Amino acid sequence: MTDASINASTAPAQADEAGFGDYFALLKPRVMSLVVFTALVGLLAAPVSVHPIVGFCAILFIAIGGGASGALNMWWDADIDRVMKRTKRRPIPSGKVDEGEALALGLALSGLSVIMLGLATNWFAGAFLAFTIFFYVVIYTMWLKRTTPQNIVIGGAAGAFPPVIGWVAATGSMTLEPWLMFALTFMWTPPHFWALALFMRSDYDDAGVPMLTVTHGRRATRTHILIYTVLLALLAIGTGFSGIGGPIYLAVALILNALFLRGAWQISRRTEADSEADNFKVERSFFKLSLLYLFMHFGAILVEALLKPYGLGGWS
């Protein structure tokens, strides 16, 4: 009996029998949830009335487009996903889904989402979704991720486009407000991911991904987190005085950014000995806070938008 036949005979049955959950996992549901929420906020914050069915279809197809990007990302990154502890249980490295199946699913859902969003809303929104998928898969996944420590900074634009797409789906046009939501997510992405990289550096080292922690070290990464957090705080608080802001948003932004700045300052002052001693407790806490940070900011924008028809939202 050959080695191949031995491996085949001892492989778990589930490796050959992928279920719905395995294919759904290809779509990166956690990332998709963020895409759905920020796109929904962009849609509802737009100064126009959208029919509920049209709005539902818009969010559905934006979500499918985000899932398609995730599947294509997993297809391309299958080699490094097998190496990294954080990703080795994903459908492809675990042997549950074939790489070719992931590619086919990603391409099919990409085409479906773009065409259907264009038909359901407008072709400007459909084209924007197509560009977002291209940016995430080609510009970030295939190019930036493995070539530059600025991968998260530039590539973060892909995750920041959904609220803009939602706004465009509703209005068919651009104004300053959706780009403020874009900028909020764009500036949030580096400190969010760099905090993760601080306590997951070995993963990126093993996979050969040039994350900032690998190319410049943890000390430089800590400084970068502080700088970006300061810039993010200025942007987030300033947004409170824009067309999508208001007293509720501003109160949320002031509290959250005070906490975020405090966390970034603590991270910047820590030594490697400090982090090793408590298993990166501060860095892990900052990462968890970063998840709440973005959700609460967009949640506040949503509340302001929902209250406006009653004369309660915004500064009016």
Question: In whole angstroms, how far apart are CA 98 and each of 31, 53, 91, 117, 309?
Answer: 21, 35, 8, 28, 50
Total-model pTM:
0.90
| Measured torsion, CA atoms of residues 293, 43, 179, 112, in degrees rounded to the nearest 10 | 100
Residue 16 confidence (pLDDT) = 56
Residue 80 confidence (pLDDT) = 92
Residue 171 confidence (pLDDT) = 96
109-123 b/e (C-beta count within 10 Å ≥ 16 → b):
bbeebbebbbebbbe
Q: Could you give the 3-state DSSP secondary structure of residue 239?
A: helix
Mean pLDDT value across the chain:
91
Residue 51 DSSP one-character state = -
296-315 confidence digits (pLDDT tens): 999 999 999 999 988 888 88
Q: What is the percent of the chain with per-residue pLDDT over 90, rounded to a whole number? A: 78
Question: In whole angstroms, how far apart are CA 204 and each of 187, 216, 265?
Answer: 22, 13, 24
Nearest-CA neighbor of 192 among 31, 46, 40? 31
Question: Which residue's structure tokens are 């190496």?
Answer: 83
Q: Could you give the 3-state DSSP secondary structure of residue 173?
A: coil
With a CB cutoff of 8 Å and minimum separation 6, the contacts of 52 are: none
User: Does residue 194 contact residue 224 with C-beta atoms inside 8 Å?
Assistant: yes
Lowest mean pLDDT of 85-99, 217-231, 254-268, name the range.
Answer: 85-99
Q: How far apart are CA 229 and CA 145, in angstroms?
A: 22
Lowest mean pLDDT of 119-128, 149-158, 232-241, name the range.
Answer: 149-158
Lowest mean pLDDT of 15-29, 41-55, 76-90, name the range.
Answer: 15-29
150-175 confidence digits (pLDDT tens): 899 998 899 999 999 999 999 999 99
Residue 84 confidence (pLDDT) = 87
How many other C-beta atoms are found inside a 10 Å radius of the C-beta of residue 315? 12
Q: How far apart are CA 42 and CA 168, in angstroms?
A: 8
Expressed in percent and rounded to 5, the helix, strand and coil fractions of the chain are 80, 0, 20
